Chain A
């Protein structure tokens, strides 16, 4: 796949607070690039700079090889943006919202009408096209929010956490829609802090934390490093009788994190040591309430890279 967009050394500070520390990455034609990171990682700032709504302090963005600053209108013309907040006129109907936002991209006449009809079908709102947005559920608004961004058939769609605060049914509908867009050849940049979404739709993943990219690759390549690891989460009744260091004497244990009454142990996959871990806990007088085991996941990748969970 060829590069559609290249981002080099992007920096941004708000007063003394450095939000982006020189991030660089490529966006390839036809892929779904997921930017994953906790709140405050710099995802939305990155998105705002990519949409040209916010200037950067340093670095450059090239779209199809040309700097976007020099061809801003042409760049914006092929861009579709789904902002984090629902950006719709509540007092107007779904169709009227779509007509207006698509017209800003120069669509008119039959082309506009067809684009609006297509977008309404895409959002599953064809039968409610004349109803005011204020009567819609949160999920319907989110779907229309996406439809408004793709009605003009952009080459690159940037979605900033488009599924925040919606029901699972609407979330699935949105994720299916994104897969459909990807299958139709649209390039998508998608930010989220939901691991499951990344697992479902991503072609490639960028993991951000504290304004920097800490990992980049496909989900398979990111999991490679931890493929030979497993994680136990042991819930005890009243922790305090055992220290993390005591577990390191057990063969295979790589890291231990004690979080209140939960003990998280990362161990090598091929070594069966659960009985020894349980034995150690019993010897120390700990009463075990629950044990769960996790296979390699992006959550584990993030934990390994940052030492904390994505939603900590």
Chain B
């Protein structure tokens, strides 16, 4: 009986978070239109570096999808502490739901929001730009899930540290851009000397790119499980971190 009430309350909060996200045109545009434009522009501009424009689109569809997935942290921080959302969220703090549903619902809602939009993006772009997700697209889609979840959990985790959406978004955006440049999301550093190639290999984004390229271009599952398990473990640790750091008084 008690469990039923707790689940119902959690679902109620989760549903509200999802509604709020899907009513935010900026976040929807950022995750779909802007991402698609970025892939098209980068593919078109850098097509000279590839055998043909199809290969360029293949590269940027995958690498910029990883870039977009990591942007889920910004979605999550917005969903958690954006000024207009924070005030009504305060009522959740006042209610008898406990603190876990408050931040976990935001993580889950941001994950569902970003994951579904990115799947939609790939469903539209793949036939249009002749991008392939490999012989087993289900694995590609499945591997996206823990990455999206890590990003969402990271956004909430940093909000729990800084208690501020603007600071969290600015910091995570800067770190993401840096890691993505190093990881070759915008242009590969592999052919730019051994030092840059080494620096590139230090970026986790490079590992993610390699895993998704292995799936889409080589039909190889060699990196699937390490990335899947690694991201799942990090997700669990981040949720645990939120549990330790989240204090209701930081929200008021």
The reply to whether A91 and B249 contact each other, CB–CB distance below 8 Å, is no
CB distance from B90 to the nearest CB of A (A): 5
Q: Is residue B20 contacting chain A, with contact meaning CB distance below 8 A?
A: yes
Interface of A is mostly: loop
- Contact status of A100 and B12, CB under 8 A, knowing A48-B252, A87-B88, A90-B84: yes
Q: Which of A77-127 contact B (CB under 8 A)?
A: 77, 79, 81, 83, 85-92, 97, 100-101, 103-106, 108
Q: Please report the C-alpha to C-alpha distance between residue A48 and residue B92 in the assembled complex, in whole angstroms.
A: 14
Q: Please report the C-alpha to C-alpha distance between residue A148 and residue B92 in the assembled complex, in whole angstroms.
A: 12
Residues of B within 8 A of A73 (CB): 96, 98
CB distance from B232 to the nearest CB of A (A): 30
Choose one: A53, A76, A85, A101; the contact of B87 (CB below 8 Å).
A85
B residues contacting the other copy or chain, number (CB 8 A): 26
CB distance from A148 to the nearest CB of B (A): 7
Choose one: B5, B8, B96, B252; the contact of A54 (CB below 8 Å).
B252
Residue of B nearest to A105 (CB): B95
The reply to whether B9 and A106 contact each other, CB–CB distance below 8 Å, is yes
Interface of B is mostly: helix
B94-132 vs A: 1/0 string, CB under 8 Å?
A: 111110000000000000000000000000000000000
CB distance from B163 to the nearest CB of A (A): 14
Q: Is residue B16 contacting chain A, with contact meaning CB distance below 8 A?
A: yes
Residues of B within 8 A of A92 (CB): 19
Choose one: A81, A89, A90, A100; the contact of B94 (CB below 8 Å).
A81
A residues contacting the other copy or chain, number (CB 8 A): 31
The reply to whether A79 and B23 contact each other, CB–CB distance below 8 Å, is no
Q: Please report the C-alpha to C-alpha distance between residue A233 and residue B16 in the assembled complex, in whole angstroms.
A: 55
Q: Is residue A55 contacting chain B, with contact meaning CB distance below 8 A?
A: yes
- Contact status of A104 and B20, CB under 8 A, knowing A53-B252, A76-B96: no
The reply to whether A103 and B9 contact each other, CB–CB distance below 8 Å, is yes
Q: Is residue A51 contacting chain B, with contact meaning CB distance below 8 A?
A: yes
> Which B residues are within 8 Å of any A CB, using their own CB?
5, 8-9, 12-13, 16, 19-20, 23, 84-85, 87-88, 90-98, 248-249, 251-252
Q: What 17 additional pairs, Cβ within 8 angstroms, besides A53-B93, A81-B94, A103-B12? A: A53-B251, A53-B252, A55-B249, A72-B96, A76-B94, A76-B95, A76-B96, A81-B91, A83-B90, A83-B91, A89-B85, A90-B84, A100-B12, A101-B91, A104-B9, A104-B92, A104-B96
> Which A residues are within 8 Å of any B CB, using their own CB?
48, 51-55, 72-74, 76-77, 79, 81, 83, 85-92, 97, 100-101, 103-106, 108, 148
